[in-house]
Homo-oligomer: A and B are copies of this chain.
Amino acid sequence: MKTITINTPSCNSVIYCGNGAFVERTALLKDKKLFIITDSNVYKLYKSHIESAFGDSPAYVLPAGERSKNYHQLLKILSAMLKAGVTRSSTVVAFGGGVVGDIAGLAASLYMRGVNLIQIPTTLLSQVDSSVGGKTAVDFEGVKNIIGAFYQPYEVIVDPLFLRTLPRRELRCGLGEIIKYGALDSGIYRKLIENKNTIFSEQFMEGITYDCIAHKAEVVTADERDTGGKRKTLNLGHTTGHAFELYYKRKSHGEFVLIGMYYEIYIAKRLGMCDAAYADTLIDLIKRVIKNVPAYEDASKAAQFAKFDKKNTQVSRISLIAPKCEGESVEITLPAEQYCKLIEDCSAYLQENKA
């Protein structure tokens, strides 16, 4: 088990990574007053783990899926916490994927203006991304993550144990974020290139997960509140990914990040802002995870949803983070029309080059 620490003005957060982390760390919670938040899938798969780790602590089980990330569920959780007699000295345990972590984190931050929070991410995506860094949120009126808070868990438990039950689609989602880290961090990039034939193996994922979290921890420590500093780079692929997610809905967040990255790398290449040979190695990695990056007939219409992305504070211009060269990214700001046109071009290119 390895540890990574995040020290921010608001909190010290410790991340415990590795095989055995779940059993070892939860054993220390026996005397604590806990409130568990999980979802129906995780509950079904890990009922015995929940019982042995958390005994008969009160729990709230969300319906599995992105759709649960709304204020109705948030209020239901807060109501359940009230009924269970959760107090300021209680600890909320978020046990699940990104949706569970986001909504449980927000509930923990709001209840009595904040109770202790432990994140136990059970998907590859939430392990490398959302469980670390304190961003919590729910969607509201069709806008992703528009209601939220910065709220650091004091502990994150990252155990590869939970990856074994993940469907391949879920692994793809996590690998999308891992490739994103590769586009930002030279060390992660090299490991991805060296192991490109075995990126779906448990052994590779366990090691790279630690590297990705270490990268994110460094960024979050430097710019906790995402105020125009380093943290913005973590949105690589997300401007377009979120726009497509809002418009097409069908796929999951992680898949849209992979697709968004593809489109944004295309844009950076077209504008001559990314080294072409390097861009192709990233495209190759993306295609190893998601074979057929979709072409969309109405891609430019979908792209208009990028202006609702909260990073784009001026609606007439769209900002995105793209890879530049190994270990470096660049912020590209475009007039909305030009951005939409480039998205359309990328879609046409994909249509022409269909396998």
In the bound complex, do residue B111 and residue A147 qualify as a contact, i.e. CB atoms below 8 Å apart?
yes
**A46-89 interface (Cβ within 8 A of B):** 71, 75, 78-79, 82, 85, 87-89
Chain B residue numbers with a CB within 8 Å of A325 are none
In the bound complex, do residue B10 and residue A141 qualify as a contact, i.e. CB atoms below 8 Å apart?
no
Within the complex, which residue of B9, B113, B145, B146 is in contact with A10, where a contact is CB–CB below 8 Å?
A: B9
Task: Give the complex CA separation of A149 and B149 in angstroms.
Answer: 9
Within the complex, which residue of B137, B145, B146 is in contact with A82, where a contact is CB–CB below 8 Å?
A: B146
Task: Give the complex CA separation of A75 and B225 in angstroms.
Answer: 23
**A324-339 interface (Cβ within 8 A of B):** none
In the bound complex, do residue A149 and residue B109 qualify as a contact, i.e. CB atoms below 8 Å apart?
yes
Residue in A136, A226, A313, A314 with the greatest tally of chain B CB atoms within 10 Å: A313
Closest chain-B Cβ to A60's Cβ sits at a distance in Å of: 15
In the bound complex, do residue B148 and residue A110 qualify as a contact, i.e. CB atoms below 8 Å apart?
yes
**Further pairs besides A89-B313, A113-B226: 5, Cβ < 8 Å:** A78-B147, A79-B140, A82-B141, A110-B147, A110-B149
In the bound complex, do residue A225 and residue B114 qualify as a contact, i.e. CB atoms below 8 Å apart?
yes
In the bound complex, do residue A78 and residue B140 qualify as a contact, i.e. CB atoms below 8 Å apart?
yes
Task: Give the complex CA separation of A225 and B89 in angstroms.
Answer: 13
Judge whether A135 is part of the interface by a CB distance below 8 angstroms.
yes
In the bound complex, do residue B82 and residue A71 qualify as a contact, i.e. CB atoms below 8 Å apart?
no
Within the complex, which residue of B112, B150, B310 is in contact with A87, where a contact is CB–CB below 8 Å?
A: B310
In the bound complex, do residue B79 and residue A75 qualify as a contact, i.e. CB atoms below 8 Å apart?
no
Judge whether A143 is part of the interface by a CB distance below 8 angstroms.
yes
Chain B residue numbers with a CB within 8 Å of A283 are none
Task: Give the complex CA separation of A324 and B162 in angstroms.
Answer: 55
Within the complex, which residue of B71, B310, B315 is in contact with A88, where a contact is CB–CB below 8 Å?
A: B310
In the bound complex, do residue A111 and residue B78 qualify as a contact, i.e. CB atoms below 8 Å apart?
no
Known A-B contacts A78-B147, A82-B146, A149-B149; A113 and B137 likewise in contact (beta carbons under 8 Å): yes
Closest chain-B Cβ to A139's Cβ sits at a distance in Å of: 11
| Contact mask for chain A residues 129-142; partner B; CB cutoff 8 A; 1 contact, 0 none | 00000011100110
In the bound complex, do residue A114 and residue B150 qualify as a contact, i.e. CB atoms below 8 Å apart?
yes
In the bound complex, do residue A149 and residue B82 qualify as a contact, i.e. CB atoms below 8 Å apart?
no
Within the complex, which residue of B78, B85, B111, B135 is in contact with A315, where a contact is CB–CB below 8 Å?
A: B85
In the bound complex, do residue A140 and residue B82 qualify as a contact, i.e. CB atoms below 8 Å apart?
yes
Residue in A75, A87, A113 with the greatest tally of chain B CB atoms within 10 Å: A113
In the bound complex, do residue B9 and residue A112 qualify as a contact, i.e. CB atoms below 8 Å apart?
no
Task: Give the complex CA separation of A225 and B116 in angstroms.
Answer: 13
In the bound complex, do residue B82 and residue A113 qualify as a contact, i.e. CB atoms below 8 Å apart?
no
Task: Give the complex CA separation of A146 and B115 in angstroms.
Answer: 11
In the bound complex, do residue B88 and residue A141 qualify as a contact, i.e. CB atoms below 8 Å apart?
no
Interchain residue pairs with CB less than 8 A apart (26): A9-B9, A10-B10, A71-B71, A71-B75, A75-B140, A78-B140, A78-B147, A79-B140, A79-B141, A82-B140, A82-B146, A87-B310, A87-B313, A87-B314, A88-B313, A110-B148, A111-B146, A111-B147, A112-B146, A112-B148, A112-B310, A113-B148, A113-B149, A114-B150, A114-B225, A149-B149
